[in-house]
Each structure stands twice: as structure tokens, then as C-alpha cells.
Amino acid sequence: MAVNMKGKSLLTIHELSLEEVWQIFELSKSLKEKRLSGEPHRLLDGKKLGMIFSKPSTRTRVSFEVGIYELGGTGLYFNQNDLQLKKSENVSDTAKVLSRYLDGIMIRTFDHQDVVDLATFGSIPIINGLTDLHHPCQVLADLFTILEKKRTLQGLKLAYIGDGNNMAHSLLHGCAKVGMNISIASPSGYTPLESVVAESKKDAKYMGSKIEILNDPIAAVKDADIIYTDVWASMGQEKE
């Protein structure tokens, strides 16, 4: 049975149910097939998506802007200088004002609390395009790609090598949610947050999968079906 996700925000994968994750995959498959065959799929005809970028990104901007266009809607780009957000206007006021003009907001920013506040005070769906803590859209897209290549997710092992940052957090949430085993290898002092690991372990226990947090990349990749990595230094932390 289809899950009604109308009006739902996407802040973290942990907040999605297993049924919602699979519905996203099924919709992605359908839209991809329509796009490849040239079949119109203007599901968001006339809708307006605000795209707030406190952090610049080539792929995130292009993918969201092209995506909303191909679905029949319009994307409005805002960089950090285009809005009064956190200058002369707080997040709650910004959320309320933008909710009057837009049908949804995608935000790529530093502080995850900004995304939470937009969803709390706004009346339209908020999509987390990246924060310092989470990157759910990237991981959902990557899990969908793995599903396409491997034909399954449950029981596979993914090894992640790198900083225990937003990517590691969303991979933990995503793999645990769909029943994948995951081994994270990060340098000492750069491991994932214990709170995220604890959340993920609850889902992993329910799905019968395993989570490992290691410092040794060789141990992490043992028997892995997928090896995943990211930048060695997160944006803004290059000096570390």
C-alpha cells in the first residue's frame, strides 16, 4: 500500500519509515524510466521550489534545478547574500514569509538546526540538501544506485572510509533503515556522533544488520560489497 508523504519534510533518513524509503526508491525508478523514454512527467506543474545555498555546490544546484524544471515546476535560487536570514531576520520569520510564496524549500547550509527551524516554523515541505550533520538526499540517491546495480540492499555490506561527518551519519541511518551492514573507518577524533550511531543501531537491530565503527580501513573493507569514500577533509575544516 502506498504511503501518503504529501507535505512531509526530509530532514534526516532516520525520520523516514522503511515504507517511505522504499516508496522513494519506487518513485525514483518510475521517474527515471519516464525521463529515459521521453514520457512527460510534470508532477509538480506550476509549483515553486526555493533553493537556499549557504554552502555552494555544483551538483546539488544543477540536480535540483533541472529536477524541478523537468517535473514542471520552477526553482528559485538564493545564496546567503540574497536573504536576510540570520542578519536582520530570524529563521522563524523567514520560514513564515517564504511559506506564503513557495511550495517547498531545499536548503544546503551549515547548521542543521536551521533546517529543523524552517520545518518547525514554516508550513511547506523542507528538504535538507546538506548540513554539517546530515546529507539525506545524497545517500538516498546512492542507495538507489546500489539497488539498481545489486538488485537488493538487505544483507549487503557497505564500507565507508573517511571523516565521520554528515555523509557517514546519513549512511549509518540509510544502511540501518534498509537492513544493510555498514562498517565506518574514520581517524580517531573524527568518528560519527554517538547519538547517530545509537539511532542507527536501533534500526539495525530491528532489521538484523550490523554496524561497526573502526579506525582501521583495511578491517572495514573486509568482505564489503560496496566501498564508499568522501573528501578527506570536510568543507570548512581543511586546516584540521
Q: Which domains does the chain have, with CATH numbers?
A: 42-130 (3.40.50.1370), 153-229 (3.40.50.1370)
Mean pLDDT over 24-31 rounds to 98
Sheet holding 104-108, edge to edge: 74-79, 48-53, 104-108, 126-130
| Residue scoring higher pLDDT (238 or 231) | 231
pLDDT at 85: 77
Tell whether the torsion through CA atoms of 101, 106, 111 and 116 is positive or negative. Answer: positive
The pLDDT of residue 127 is above 90: yes
Minimum mean pLDDT among 60-69, 153-162, 224-233: which range? 224-233
- Collect all residues with Cβ–Cβ distance below 8 Å to 176 and sequence separation of at least 6: 182, 200, 201, 202, 203, 204, 207, 209, 211
What's the pTM value of the predicted model, to 2 decimals?
0.95
The pLDDT of residue 239 is above 80: no
The pLDDT of residue 237 is above 90: no
